[in-house]
Amino acid sequence: MSATIIDGKAFAADIRGRVAEQVATLKEAHGITPGLAVVLVGADPASEVYVRSKGRMTVEVGMESFEHRLSEDTSEADLMALVNKLNADPKVHGILVQLPLPKHMNSDAVINAIDPAKDVDGFHISNVGLLGTGQKAMVPCTPLGCLMMLRDHLGDMSGKEAVVIGRSNIVGKPMAHLLLGESCTVSIAHSRTKDIADVVRRADIVVAAVGRPKMVKGDWIKPGATVIDVGINRVEAQGGKTRLVGDVDFDAAKEVAGAITPVPGGVGPMTIACLLANTLTAACRANGLPEPEGLTV
């Protein structure tokens, strides 16, 4: 038996279409154009690619895109000054400071300087606390995208065993909170987990977010489980080229799983779609308007 392949690319395009419709309505009915500011410090080539595609898709859904590129040796004080300026700018509804930041900066301090209402990454301590206590928050884009795919594929998840592999602040921990919100029984496995294969084998839902290529083996997967692969690992391929692989051994896992997301074309495109959804949500909330439909938790 071969698993259903969850098409994140198509799903993300659908979400962007829904965002675009609601942006058009917001413009017509209220004269509001949602704006997203992306700040990139330094010139990491991978980050450049993501920032460019974020900017393009922001414009495609009818929003305003503001890109700020700062040199690698920018001081933390100068970055903070930019964040404060964006906080005060009424045309900016969402702010994303691309991570990782250069080593001389304190990322926590920078993130926590963002107005929580504009924190479309959902990384501010205030949003983390709101999510952790089940209150209305800005939800981090990657876990939100994973949840949307899970809801679409499974519907009701209550009582299911979910195992999140990875305990990062940007994926693992918020993902666990979202799954708890769906009434799953949630475990978080990580590098120190004993008998990780056995822990993963109990899962009806596996979310792999460790950043280690093909770490999750086919025989770790319970037959019929739903597998969400968050990993985006660039590895050497033939002819001196590189290619992207996930944290899951896809070819083996797809023979056992009920459904699985591919890499590329799975979680990655959903992350950007959810960033746009969060920006729309932020613009609605900033103007006291109802939440966009079908785009929030």
Ligand X SMILES: Nc1nc(=O)c2c([nH]1)NC[C@@H]1CN(c3ccc(C(=O)N[C@@H](CCC(=O)O)C(=O)O)cc3)C=[N+]21
Q: Which of 79, 119, 121, 250 binds ligand X (CB under 6 A)?
A: 121
Do the strands 185-189 and 233-236 form a parallel or antiparallel pair, or are they unpaired? unpaired
Residue 99 binds ligand X (CB under 6 A): yes
Residue 174 binds ligand X (CB under 6 A): no
Of the chain, the end-to-end C-alpha distance in Å amounts to 33
Per the annotation, the verdict on 9 as an active-site residue is no
Q: One of 119, 121, 229, 249 is an active-site residue; which one?
A: 121
Residue type, 275: L
CA torsion 207→252→193→135, rounded to 10°? 0
Residues 251-290 that bind ligand X (CB under 6 A): 263-265, 268-269, 271-272
Q: Which of 141, 149, 203, 221 binds ligand X (CB under 6 A)?
A: 141
Q: One of 98, 119, 160, 204 is an active-site residue; which one?
A: 98
232 is an annotated ligand-binding site residue: yes
- Taking residues 191 to 230 in sequence order and writing x for each that binds ligand X by CB under 6 A, - otherwise, the string is ----------------------------------------
Can you read off the two tokens belonging to residue 102?
């250069």
**Residues forming a β-bridge with 67:** 38
Per the annotation, the verdict on 121 as an active-site residue is yes
Q: Which of 22, 98, 127, 296 binds ligand X (CB under 6 A)?
A: 98
Output the CA angle 55-142-56, nearest 5 degrees: 10
Residues 235-254 that bind ligand X (CB under 6 A): 244
In whole angstroms, what is the distance from residue 120 CA to residue 139 CA?
A: 8
- To the nearest whole angstrom, how small is the minimum distance from the Cβ of residue 277 to ligand X? 13
170 is an annotated ligand-binding site residue: no
166 is an annotated ligand-binding site residue: yes
* DSSP, residue by residue, 71-129: -TT--HHHHHHHHHHHHH-TT--EEEE-SSPPTTS-HHHHHHHS-GGGBTT--SHHHHH
167 is an annotated ligand-binding site residue: yes
Binding residues are: 166-168, 232
Residues that bind ligand X (CB under 6 A): 49-50, 96-99, 121, 141, 232, 244, 263-265, 268-269, 271-272
